Copies of this chain bind each other. A is one copy, B any other.
Amino acid sequence: MSTAEETVGGEPQPWGEVTPDAARRLLVAAVEAFAERGYHATTTRDIAGRAGMSPAALYIHYKTKEELLHRISRIGHEKALDVLRTAADSEGTPAERLAEAVRSFVRWHAGQHTVARVVQYELDALGPDARAEIVELRRRNDAAVRGIIEDGVAAGDFDVPDVRGTTLAVLSLCIDVARWFNVNGPRTPDEVGALYADLVLRMVGAKG
């Protein structure tokens, strides 16, 4: 449960790198608002209001509303990629690494589901350049998962007829957690992670 991130009062503080304080408050407010209502339905006045500031204050720290979304998307994707890579590069059999990757990736999408929702579903609101940058980060996510599955197939531990298709399905399954996960629902992020790790091992036909 210990990560390198700062914590304040037990709550994870995933935006520690954003300074100054007012800029971070605006970013956190934007994440909440975008996740609740969507990017286009959120007004700059709403974001500034949640951060306890006047509408104009937003433009001291960010050039446009889109820059806020871009910053959120980039940081969010980097965090998710970091979580995935840590599991992918760890020691252990392919099955252990795949299970840990799914467990932590799902845990992130469930626990940080507001960020994840923005990151995954508001991509089209970005301009072409910003979108291209984010798409490249996603390609690396894909490569990390595919790498584990290929290792498992090569070692004879997995039975996977279609590696690319299965990789796509595994990632899709994990990412969609952000859409349906509900904090007041019956499952904790840990429980969903454990369930999904088991399901994914079945999907790749892991021995044992």
For A161, the closest partner residue in chain B by CB is: B198
Within the complex, which residue of B121, B168, B176 is in contact with A175, where a contact is CB–CB below 8 Å?
Answer: B176
Also in contact, A195 and B169, with CB within 8 A (given A40-B40, A124-B38): yes
One complex includes copies of this chain to the number of 2
Within the complex, which residue of B161, B169, B180, B195 is in contact with A162, where a contact is CB–CB below 8 Å?
Answer: B195
C-alpha gap A165/B180 in the complex (Å): 12
B contact residues around A154 at 8 Å (CB):
none
B contact residues around A165 at 8 Å (CB):
187, 192, 195
A166 at interface (Cβ–Cβ under 8 A)?
yes
**Which of A4-12, A78-86, A93-101, A199-207 makes up part of the contact surface?**
A199-207
B contact residues around A180 at 8 Å (CB):
168, 172
A45 at interface (Cβ–Cβ under 8 A)?
no
- Within the complex, the shortest CB–CB distance from A17 to chain B, in Å, comes to 29
Q: What DSSP secondary structure best describes chain A's contact surface?
A: helix
A177 at interface (Cβ–Cβ under 8 A)?
yes
C-alpha gap A37/B38 in the complex (Å): 12
B contact residues around A175 at 8 Å (CB):
176
A105 at interface (Cβ–Cβ under 8 A)?
no
C-alpha gap A169/B195 in the complex (Å): 9
A173 at interface (Cβ–Cβ under 8 A)?
yes
For A192, the closest partner residue in chain B by CB is: B165
For A175, the closest partner residue in chain B by CB is: B176
B contact residues around A169 at 8 Å (CB):
173, 195-196, 199
For A205, the closest partner residue in chain B by CB is: B202
